[in-house]
Amino acid sequence: MPGHGAPLDELVVPDGTEAQERDLVTDGDVLLGTRSSVEFGVRGRNVVASEGVRFGGAIEADGDCRLDMWSDVAESVLVGGDAYLGERVHIGGELMVAGDLDIGDDVDIEEGFEANGWIVIRNPMPTIVFLFVYLKHLLVVGDEDAAQRLIDELIDEDTADEPEAEPLVVPANGTVSDDAWRVSTPARIGDDCRLHGNIRAESIDVGSDTELYGSLRARGDIHIDRNTIVHGDVTTRDGSITLAEGVRVLGDISCGELELGSDTVVDGVMRAAGQITMQNDPRPEAD
């Protein structure tokens, strides 16, 4: 799924992401906005959390891990590269760092820490705060290209030779749990994902061959791509719903206008205030 929109301005779940029993697992990087909450543990390449982010499990980062001030991790943090912790970060388990550790004032690590590289203790550690404040400024003034370059430098410092993967992004104040994914922004779910929880967003775009165990609800439009299965209702307050060929919805549908692809199955009741249209022929596959 191609990227669009400003960085951190939408919920982005990249292709192949899985919500496993206790962990949210992705092949790429993880970016978490201010005061967001993830009730799972997180496993990814680089993990970058802004101020006041809360993790309900452990963090496993193959590359670097950067936690801004007041972030809270319920369990251990394992880092394959370098770790950067802002002031008053709390870690409920141990911190194991294969590279260097840069740590701020009044950090609480309940089961101790170990780093194979240099250990630097600061009071305070301003690096993460500066980066996110600068990023926010770039977005406010509309310089999205510069903002994207900053994110690329932040999360791809040591991965120039690795294949590029879209990061998992949770916007500011977003909540991700086994019960619900709640954001006040648009949401994009990639191809071949497997997620648990009801999704609540401004608008929702779901990729192909994905399985969602929960309902979808949006203020705006909802689009679901080929051969995706939704185990729940799909509803929108003000928008339209588009279901591509082979989609299956195990629940009710409610919307303004509804477009159904060929071989689409809806096991519940369909309610549309406007027009209902059906595609008789499948859309051609993209080259």
The structural domains of the chain, with segments of one domain joined by +, span 21-171, 186-278
Pair 69, 49: CB distance under 8 Å? no
What is the spatial distance between Cα 128 and Cα 85, in angstroms, rounded to a whole number? 8
User: And the tokens for 225?
Assistant: 């791509």
CB 160 within 8 A of CB 27: no
Would the pLDDT of 208 be above 60?
yes
Most confidently modeled of 1-10, 153-162, 238-247? Answer: 238-247
**Rounded to whole angstroms, how far apart are CA atoms 153 and 170?**
19
Distance from C-alpha of 260 to C-alpha of 268, rounded to nearest angstrom: 14
Angle, in degrees to the nearest 10, between helices 127-140 and 144-155: 160
Question: Strands 253-255 and 270-272: what pairing?
Answer: parallel
The answer to whether 32 and 15 have CB atoms below 8 angstroms apart is: no
DSSP-derived letter for residue 167 is P
Exposure letters 151-187 (e unless 16+ CB within 10 A, then b): beebbbeebeeeeebbbbbbbbebbbbbebbbbebbb
Taking only the tens place, the pLDDT of each residue in 18-34 is: 988 789 999 999 999 99
Q: How confident is the model at residue 6 (pLDDT cuts 50, 70, 90)?
A: very low
Q: What is residue 143's predicted lDDT score, i.e. its pLDDT?
A: 62
pTM: 0.81
Question: How far apart are alpha carbons 84 and 259 in whole angstroms?
Answer: 48
The answer to whether residues 18 and 194 touch, using CB atoms and an 8 Å cutoff, is: yes
The single-letter code of the amino acid at 88 is: R
Higher pLDDT, 132 or 187: 187
* The pair of three-digit structure tokens given for residue 279, joined into one six-digit string: 């595609």
What is the residue-averaged pLDDT of the chain?
86
Whether the CB-CB separation of 175 and 24 falls below 8 Å is answered with: no
Q: What local confidence, expressed as pLDDT, does residue 124 receive?
A: 43
pLDDT at 135 over 70: no
- Across 180-257, where does the E strand assignment appear? 180-182, 187-189, 194-196, 198-201, 204-206, 211-213, 216-218, 222-224, 229-230, 234-236, 241-243, 248-249, 253-255
What is the mean pLDDT of the segment spanning 249-267?
Answer: 95
Query: Stretch 145-166: mean pLDDT, rounded?
Result: 60
Query: For the chain, how far is it from start to end, CA to CA, in angstroms?
Result: 14
